[in-house]
């Protein structure tokens, strides 16, 4: 039997090298890609409103700017309403756990007195040195936290600006895309961009709706059950809804724990209530709101979540589903494009 010879063309080698280089570059600029992806998500949310404004002879730029101002005013109003209540509930939580802190402080005093009675003594030099080091570390942490806040605000501004131009200059973006790709791929690229933007926008709007509905339901339920800090816990649970799978579990566990500090009975009622809300979300709300937007198989969603969380932590977990959705749309559109070319040749 003659030995089987496997030949690999130069074109295949070049394509493989190109894919590897593209993946390597994407990994190096992953922070920038994440920022651009966030801007694309926001543009997908805003685009239906801008399209409606354009059909009614309202300039897209003016419409998006007014929407930004309205959202900013809404955010400021909500924050102004929630912050006093959250601060009050945080103060209550501090006073509730103040007994524990006092117990620890008294315990430290007793240990110091016991050390003196046993003749172990105390050396003030290491104590003052340790205090100085802690103060220095605290100052460094404050500066680092301030830098993180400023960097976060700058990122938000950049995302808003990029989203603004993605919405109002979509025609210019399409022209630039057409200038970069061969003519044969113009229709495919235009359709692909439109489909990805539509899916990502639908996902983001659906996720916001789910998060808000879960937050309202939890606030009402926790208040009726008598769980302390109901508003704060509902807000945290609403935010955690953006982390697939683990977010609701983590928030639910925290709520049950806090309810248990009040009474085991309230903890049990809270657990049953949370499970009921999750079942309602998984079997009614999510299929109704998200199935059309995402359309991913559950196994694909779980795999995307695990990969995203492993590579990028919490941020990767949050963006895993929309990224998987975009990849799914790209594969589907490319398959349809390739099949159409094969049919045209035959």
pLDDT, one tens digit per residue, over 312-325 is 787 788 888 888 88
The residue ranking higher by pLDDT, 329 or 98, is 329
Could you tell me what percentage of the chain is helix, strand and coil, using 3-state DSSP and rounding each to the nearest 5? 90, 0, 10
Q: How many CB atoms lie within 10 A of CB 332?
A: 13
Q: Which of 26, 73, 47, 274 is nearest to 169 (CA)?
A: 47
- Nearest alpha carbon to residue 293 among 329, 240, 247: 329
Residue 81, class by beta-carbon neighbours within 10 Å (0-12 exposed, 13-18 middle, 19+ buried)? exposed
d(CA 189, CA 192): 5
29 has a pLDDT exceeding 60: yes
Is residue 89's pLDDT more than 70?
no
Alpha-helical regions (H) of 226-284: 230-240, 246-262, 264-280
What is the mean predicted confidence (pLDDT) over 62-90? 74
pLDDT 10s digits, 211-224: 888 889 999 999 89
Task: List, in sequence order, the alpha helices (H) in 169-263.
Answer: 170-180, 186-225, 230-240, 246-262
Query: Tokens 């992953």 correspond to what residue?
Result: 30
User: What's the average model confidence in pLDDT over 71-86?
Assistant: 71
Q: Residue 223 is encoded by which pair of tokens?
A: 């208040």
* CA atoms of 313 and 320, how far apart (whole Å): 10
For the stretch 263-272, pLDDT in tens is 889 989 999 9
Task: In whole angstroms, give the CA distance from residue 69 to residue 206.
Answer: 22
pTM, rounded to two decimals: 0.67
State the Cα–Cα distance between residues 123 and 191, nearest whole angstrom: 74
Are 211 and 238 spatial neighbours (Cβ–Cβ below 8 Å)? Answer: yes
Tokens for 314, please give them.
Answer: 């919490």
* Secondary structure letter of residue 66 according to DSSP: H
State the Cα–Cα distance between residues 230 and 209, nearest whole angstrom: 20
Nearest CA to 185 out of 338, 332, 331, 37 is that of 338
> How would DSSP label each residue in 75-125?
HHHHHHHHHHHHHHHHHHHHHHTHHHHHHHHHHHHHHHHHHHHTT----HH
pLDDT single digits (tens) 37-47: 888 888 877 87
Q: Is 50 helix (H, G, I), strand (E, B) or coil?
A: helix
């Amino acid at each position: 039997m003659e030995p089987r010879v496997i030949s690999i063309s130069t074109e295949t080698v070049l394509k493989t090298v190109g894919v590897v280089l593209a993946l390597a570059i994407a990994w190096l600029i992953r922070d920038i890609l994440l920022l651009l992806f966030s801007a694309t998500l926001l543009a997908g949310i805003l685009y239906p409103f801008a399209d409606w404004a354009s059909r009614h002879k309202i300039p897209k730029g003016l419409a998006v700017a007014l929407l930004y101002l309205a959202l900013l005013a809404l955010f400021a109003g909500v924050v102004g309403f929630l912050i006093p209540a959250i601060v009050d509930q945080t103060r209550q939580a501090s006073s509730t756990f103040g007994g524990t802190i006092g117990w620890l402080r008294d315990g430290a005093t007793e240990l110091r007195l016991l050390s003196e009675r046993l003749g172990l003594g105390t050396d003030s030099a290491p104590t003052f040195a340790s205090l100085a080091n802690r103060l220095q570390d605290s100052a460094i942490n404050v500066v680092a936290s301030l830098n993180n806040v400023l960097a976060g605000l700058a990122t938000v501004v950049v995302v808003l600006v990029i989203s603004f131009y993605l919405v109002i200059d979509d025609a210019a973006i399409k022209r630039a895309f057409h200038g970069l790709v061969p003519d044969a791929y113009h229709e495919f690229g235009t359709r692909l961009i439109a489909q990805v933007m539509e899916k990502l926008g639908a996902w983001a709007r659906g996720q916001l709706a789910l998060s808000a509905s879960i937050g309202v339901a939890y606030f009402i339920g926790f208040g009726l059950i008598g769980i302390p800090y109901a508003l704060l816990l509902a807000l945290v649970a609403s935010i955690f809804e953006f982390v697939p799978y683990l977010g609701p579990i983590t928030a639910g566990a925290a709520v049950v724990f806090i309810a248990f500090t009040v009474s085991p009975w309230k903890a049990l009622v809270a657990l049953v209530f949370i499970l009921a809300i999750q079942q309602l979300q998984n079997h009614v709300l999510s299929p109704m709101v998200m199935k059309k937007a995402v359309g991913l198989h559950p196994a694909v969603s779980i795999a995307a979540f695990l990969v995203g969380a492993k590579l990028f932590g919490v941020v990767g977990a949050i963006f895993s589903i929309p990224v998987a959705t975009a990849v799914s749309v790209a594969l589907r559109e490319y398959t349809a494009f390739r099949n159409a070319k094969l049919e045209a040749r035959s």
